[in-house]
Structure 1
Amino acid sequence: MVHDDHVTSRPPVAMAGLSKLMARSVGAADLKVGLLDGPVMVGHPGFSAAKLEWSCQEDVAEVGARDVAATHATSVAGVLVAGRQSGALAICPGVTLVTRSLFRSAGARAAGTTTWMELADALREIVDAGARIVNMSLSTAPGMSKEHRAMQDALDYAAAHGVIVVAAAGNDGAIDSTVVTRHRSVLPAVAYNLQGRPWRISNVGRSIGQRGIGVAVDGLMSLGTRGMLRPFGGTSAAAAIATGAATLILSELPKTTPGALISAMKGDRARRTSVVPPLMNAWRAFESLLASRIRQERWSPY
Structure 2
Amino acid sequence: MSASNFDDHRANDWYESTKREVATDQGVLRYHEAGEGPPLLLLHGSGIGVSGWRNYRHNLEVFATHFRCYILEFPGFGISDTFDGPPMVTAAKSVVLLMEALRIESAAVVGNSMGGVVGAQVAIRYPQRVTKLVTIGGIGPNIFSQNPSEGTRLLQEFADGPSREKLVRWLDCMVYDPAVITEERIEERWDASSDPASQDSLSAMYGSKALAERQYAMRNSEAPPYWSMLHKVQCPTLLTWGRDDRQCPPDMAMIPMRCIPDAELHIFPNCGHWVMIEAKEAFERVTIEFLLR
TM value normalised by structure 2: 0.41
Richer in helix (by share): 2
Q: Structure 1-normalised TM-score? A: 0.40
